[in-house]
């Protein structure tokens, strides 16, 4: 039992055990629950810090547990998993603080925070999964852990949204499962290896591999909300704001996108996948999704729905970066995994604040919110500008590298129009919101009715998280070239994937 | 130490007699015997892990003349499941039956059923198996009727008729075998059996009898009403254990004794029936309006999965690949036993509390009975076959082997069955999470919820994370590695 074979397990347990303990707490034990939550999140953060340092210095961390003969549950740290683990750990901590403030007096908090911790456990498990089997296990586990969160309010709409979510994700999970089982019968244990494993297996029939790729991508595409598999995402908006924030930034959609990255780079190998021709398919799906999501976002008046369609669009940048062969596009896709998370969580925190403080749920009600809630609106503005891709916010860096990568690989002809078009569309659905918020005339009475009499515009636990994540989004763009920045880390991954 | 083998039979029988002559202390006799049988089964399991098979010739008579008891990995693991499920369900029964008189009626019959089941699992001889099968069926019918409602009595009478029909077919087959080979000892038979018409007829008769008793589609018609109308602890045992006894015998006959006389086509037929059971049972479970009926139809579907293993097993070359699949089959049966019994006990808690088990009126259950809702969710995960349950691993292996054997037909069957199971489980959970006062006000954690929770945890966590032990037990000399931390 040394650190090198226990660290991944400890990282998993640092949210699993507090989560299980929280289930047993009574509703009233507010302090103990908060302490457990924050303790778990902080321990995880420290452990992940150790892991970042170690992986940078080429340490090997692996926990292995034999579930059945030939089926190992493997938790393994490599540069890519560390990228995702750090994102989820950091944002989990922030979202926990936010959720504690958000759910202050609502019922079933023990249940909520219990599943919340399980959800993060599943995400971290996905990030650390060392083979496709382990990935499938945590992928299904994530579905189970998020269902109660989506259904949390218990209203008929919430139950319905959760049911739709479940129908999509279970069906997707089944496609992934069949693909994984099939591939395993052909190619053995399917450990994730940088550079892929299938390229060296000449005996495999290319058409079989194409069909399996399709099954895997359909399974992952449901969570990644690739069109036409995205139908659950706008329905899942009924969840409480912290859940939406986590779902859109870290947990569910990211799990799908991360899985696509894993399958392309570490199972098929990006060059082998390109030679099979399947990357073109993935690229086309991503391009369609990017444009479609943006177009749909334009017409949504409900703020959270507009953000949801924006997620549909933005997450596919990751798939797009994956589908373009070449290290620069890889960097763009990988770094967007982090950038999109930080920016989108900011936007959802802000949307939650508007709903909580003012009862504002619709874009058309947002006139003058900037004057009433300047801090929240500042954070929202930074996030929105980042989504459009305006420098120096992080989103610009992602798009820049995607564009460079497209030029490098010769795919510029179709990628650049997609990038430009989607940026214009992003501007078209975000800028009017910003204009309304800052320059619109605030109504005499907000829809929520109740007036807030405090020093701050809203409870501090709700104010600081969006400001912090907005700051991160800004910093990730401003200091993109600093060591350990998301961009530098994405470069490290690309170097290792392409063995540069 | 092989006298150990007699204990799982003798102890419940002793308990049954004690409970009968001393009704006021029936609870103690029953629970004491259940715990003792569980400990004995644990010892047998440990011995089997070390020595592969145990054998006991009762009274010293050689097999073929006397009664031979045998335990291998398959019977030992089922025995272990049976004792643990029986213990938990018995514990629940002490709270389920409020009146002492009911419990005094319950315990002797219950322990008799357990005795018969254990004797069946340990018997090495076809005639003894017939006797235990008959005894098991009769005890089960009496227990199913214990509820006393008109519906329960009607269902029990039908259960009895069908059960007798099944035993009769089985006995006829046994008679033909004795006439043909002069022995009923299964080990001796295995060496002598030839592929000839008389054997086929005998095997067909025995199998038909067992298929009726294991409620394989389309012979499942008697199961839903019998299982749904029995008292909850009895339903748990009927669905988790009794049905599986008949399946266990099919497995014994087909894999160990008559494997030379079989064709792939007959196994394919069983597989097709199993596939139909998966689809039909899951669909009916999805449409069921009552929780216990849902659970009963879910059993029809899960039995179907067990039969899906048979054609794939027979198509897989003996050796490592087949051992892997066989272990998965046992894992599936065990996980279903624990999850289904947990589900029935949970349903019993709700039924007691709300006075009904109509799914559409379960609103508010998650608030009023959080532990029981959690039990239904955990058991449901195992019924669907999601991780971390044992069913997930078993289905993974089944699909792997089916693909390797080129039997692609089963893949969509498993996929559809799994998704339908997801639909019926989450239909219940959706209502339970919904608004309403259907099950009354919230209460603190109750003793009645504990046994179900235990069973559900075994199905999902223990059998999922510790599944490698199942292969160690079932496959002699398997090299499943344990912890490598």
DSSP states along B267-315:
HHHHHHHHHHHHHHHHHHHHH-SBHHHHHHHHHHHHHHHHHHHHHHHHH
Beta carbons of B174 and B184 less than 8 angstroms apart: yes
Cis, bond preceding A392 (omega within 30 deg of 0): yes
Instruction: Share the mean pLDDT of chain B.
Output: 90
Q: State yes or no: pLDDT of B66 exceeds 80.
A: no
User: Is A151 near chain B, with CB under 8 Å?
Assistant: yes
Q: State yes or no: pLDDT of B11 exceeds 90.
A: yes
Residues A431-451 have pLDDT tens digits of 999 999 999 898 888 887 665
pTM assigned to the model: 0.94
Q: State yes or no: pLDDT of B442 exceeds 60.
A: no
Q: State yes or no: pLDDT of A417 exceeds 50.
A: yes
The candidate with the shortest Cα–Cα distance to B84, out of B53, B118, B131, B50, is B118
Residues B231-244 have pLDDT tens digits of 999 999 999 999 99
Q: Which two tokens stand for residue B17?
A: 């007699």
Distance (Å, whole) CA A392 – CA B405:
57
Query: Measured between CA atoms, how close is B91 to chain A, in angstroms?
Result: 23
A56-67 mean pLDDT: 90
Distance (Å, whole) CA A10 – CA A85:
13
Q: Which residue of B has its CA nearest to A133?
A: B396
Query: Measured between CA atoms, how close is A167 to chain B, in angstroms?
Result: 8
At residue A181, the pLDDT reads 95
At residue B249, the pLDDT reads 95
User: Is A133 near chain B, with CB under 8 Å?
Assistant: yes
Of residues A105 and A418, more confidence is placed in: A418
Residues of B in Cβ contact (< 8 Å) with A69:
324, 327, 468, 471, 478-480
Residues of A in Cβ contact (< 8 Å) with B483:
65
ipTM of the complex: 0.91
User: Is A62 near chain B, with CB under 8 Å?
Assistant: no
- Reported confidence tier of residue B445, pLDDT bands at 50, 70, 90: low
Domain ranges of chain B: 1-124, 151-234+242-259, 263-477
Of residues B185 and B279, more confidence is placed in: B279
Residues B266-285 have pLDDT tens digits of 899 999 999 999 999 999 99
**179-238 in A: which are within 8 Å (CB) of B?**
181-182, 184-185
CB contact under 8 A, A184 and B485: no
Residues of B in Cβ contact (< 8 Å) with A67:
393, 464-465, 467-468
Beta carbons of A269 and A278 less than 8 angstroms apart: no
CB contact under 8 A, A68 and B468: yes
From the CB of residue A419, how many other CB atoms can be counted at a distance below 10 Å?
22
Lowest mean pLDDT among A291-300, A422-431, B251-260, B433-442: B433-442
At residue B482, the pLDDT reads 37
Tokens 């929105």 sit on residue: A384
At residue A1, the pLDDT reads 61
Q: What is the dihedral of CA B130, B136, B141, B147, to 10 degrees?
A: 180
Residues of B in Cβ contact (< 8 Å) with A163:
426, 430
Among B319, B365, B390, B422, pick the best mutation site for testing chain A contact (most A Cβ within 10 A): B422
Distance (Å, whole) CA A356 – CA B167:
67
Of residues B438 and A158, more confidence is placed in: A158
- Reported confidence tier of residue A353, pLDDT bands at 50, 70, 90: very high
B356-365 mean pLDDT: 88
Candidate ranges A486-495, B190-199, B405-414; pick with highest mean pLDDT: B405-414
At residue B154, the pLDDT reads 92
């Amino acid at each position: 039992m040394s650190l090198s074979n226990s660290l991944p397990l400890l990282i998993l347990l640092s949210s699993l055990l507090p989560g299980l303990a929280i289930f047993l707490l009574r509703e009233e034990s507010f302090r103990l629950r908060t302490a457990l939550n924050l303790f778990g999140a902080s321990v995880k953060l420290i452990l992940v810090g150790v892991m970042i340092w170690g992986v940078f210095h080429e340490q090997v961390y692996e926990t292995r547990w034999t579930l059945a003969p030939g089926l190992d549950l493997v938790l393994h740290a490599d540069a890519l998993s560390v990228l995702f683990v750090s994102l989820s750990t950091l944002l989990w901590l922030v979202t926990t603080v936010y959720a504690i403030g958000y759910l202050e007096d609502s019922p079933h908090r023990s249940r909520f925070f219990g599943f919340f911790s399980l959800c993060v456990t599943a995400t971290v498990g996905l990030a650390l999964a060392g083979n496709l089997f382990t990935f499938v296990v945590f992928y299904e586990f994530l579905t189970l852990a998020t269902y109660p969160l989506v259904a949390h309010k218990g209203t008929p709409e919430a139950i319905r949204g959760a049911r739709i979510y479940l129908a999509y994700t279970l069906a997707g999970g089944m496609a992934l499962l069949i693909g994984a089982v099939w591939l395993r019968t052909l190619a053995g244990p399917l450990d994730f290896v940088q550079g892929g494993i299938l390229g060296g297996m000449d005996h495999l029939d290319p058409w079989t591999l194409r069909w399996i790729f399709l099954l895997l991508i359909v399974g992952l595409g449901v969570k990644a909300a690739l069109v036409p598999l995205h139908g659950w995402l706008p329905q899942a908006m009924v969840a409480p704001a912290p859940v939406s924030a986590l779902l859109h930034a870290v947990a569910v959609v990211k799990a799908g996108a991360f899985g696509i990255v894993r399958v392309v780079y570490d199972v098929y190998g990006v060059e082998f996948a390109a030679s099979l021709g399947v990357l073109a398919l993935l690229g086309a799906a991503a391009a369609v999704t990017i444009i479609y999501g943006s177009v749909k976002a334009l017409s949504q008046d409900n703020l959270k729905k507009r953000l949801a369609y924006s997620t549909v669009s933005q997450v596919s940048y990751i798939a797009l970066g994956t589908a373009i062969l070449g290290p620069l596009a890889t960097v763009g896709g990988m770094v967007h995994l982090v950038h999109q998370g930080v920016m989108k969580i900011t936007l959802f925190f802000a949307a939650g604040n508007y709903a909580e403080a003012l009862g504002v749920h619709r874009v058309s009600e947002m006139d003058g919110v900037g004057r009433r809630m300047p801090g929240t609106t500042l954070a929202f503005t930074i996030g929105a500008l980042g989504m459009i891709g305006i420098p120096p916010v992080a989103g610009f860096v992602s798009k820049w590298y995607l564009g460079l990568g497209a030029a490098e690989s010769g795919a510029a002809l179709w990628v650049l129009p997609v990038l430009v078009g989607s940026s214009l569309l992003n501007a078209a659905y975000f800028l009017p919101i910003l204009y309304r918020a800052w320059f619109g005339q605030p109504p005499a009475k907000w829809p929520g009715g109740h007036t807030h009499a405090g020093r701050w515009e809203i409870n501090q636990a709700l104010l600081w998280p969006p400001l912090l994540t907005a700051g991160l989004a800004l910093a990730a763009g401003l200091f993109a070239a600093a060591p350990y920045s998301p961009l530098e880390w994405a470069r490290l991954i690309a170097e290792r994937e392409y063995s540069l | 130490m092989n006298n150990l083998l007699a204990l799982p039979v003798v102890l419940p029988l002793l308990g049954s007699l004690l409970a009968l002559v001393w009704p006021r202390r029936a609870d103690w006799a029953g629970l004491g015997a259940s715990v003792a049988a569980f400990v004995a089964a644990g010892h047998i399991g440990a011995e089997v892990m070390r020595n592969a098979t145990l054998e006991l010739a009762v009274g010293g008579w050689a097999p073929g003349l006397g009664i031979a008891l045998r335990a291998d990995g398959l019977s030992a693991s089922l025995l272990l499941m049976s004792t643990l499920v029986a213990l938990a369900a018995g514990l629940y029964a002490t709270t389920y039956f409020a009146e002492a008189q009911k419990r005094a009626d319950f315990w002797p019959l219950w322990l008799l059923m357990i005795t018969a089941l254990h004797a069946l699992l340990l018997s090495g001889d076809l005639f003894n198996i017939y006797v235990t099968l008959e005894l098991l069926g009769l005890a089960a019918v009496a227990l199913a009727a214990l509820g006393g409602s008109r519906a329960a009595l009607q269902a029990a009478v039908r259960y009895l008729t069908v059960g007798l029909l099944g035993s009769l077919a089985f006995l006829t087959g046994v008679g033909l075998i004795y006439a043909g080979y002069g022995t009923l000892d299964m080990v001796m038979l295995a060496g002598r059996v030839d592929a000839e018409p008389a054997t086929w007829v005998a095997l067909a008769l025995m199998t038909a009898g067992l298929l009726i008793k294991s409620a394989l589609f389309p012979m499942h018609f008697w199961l839903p009403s019998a299982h749904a109308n029995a008292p909850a602890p009895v339903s748990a045992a009927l669905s988790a254990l009794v049905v599986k006894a008949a399946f266990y015998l099919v497995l014994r006959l087909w894999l160990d004794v008559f494997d030379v006389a079989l064709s792939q086509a007959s196994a394919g037929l069983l597989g097709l029936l199993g596939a139909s059971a998966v689809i039909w049972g899951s669909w009916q479970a999805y449409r069921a309006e009552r929780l216990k009926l849902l659970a009963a139809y879910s059993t029809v579907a899960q039995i179907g999965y067990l039969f899906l293993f048979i054609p794939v097993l027979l198509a897989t070359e003996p050796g490592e690949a087949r051992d892997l699949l066989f272990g998965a089959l046992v894992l599936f049966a065990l996980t279903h036993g624990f999850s289904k019994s947990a589900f029935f006990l949970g349903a019993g808690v709700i039924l007691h509390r709300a006075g009904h088990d109509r799914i559409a009126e379960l609103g508010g259950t998650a608030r009023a009975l959080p532990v029981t809702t959690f039990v239904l969710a955990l058991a449901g995960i195992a019924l669907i076959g999601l991780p971390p349950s044992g069913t997930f691993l078993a289905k993974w292996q089944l699909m792997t082997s089916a693909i390797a054997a080129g039997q692609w037909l089963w893949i969509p069957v498993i996929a559809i069955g799994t998704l339908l199971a997801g639909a019926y489980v989450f239909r219940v959970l959706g209502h339970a999470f919904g608004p309403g006062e259907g099950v009354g006000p919230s209460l603190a954690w109750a003793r009645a919820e504990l046994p179900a929770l235990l069973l559900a945890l075994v199905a999902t966590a223990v059998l999922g994370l510790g599944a490698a032990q199942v292969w160690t037990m079932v496959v002699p000399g398997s090299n499943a590695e344990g912890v490598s931390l």
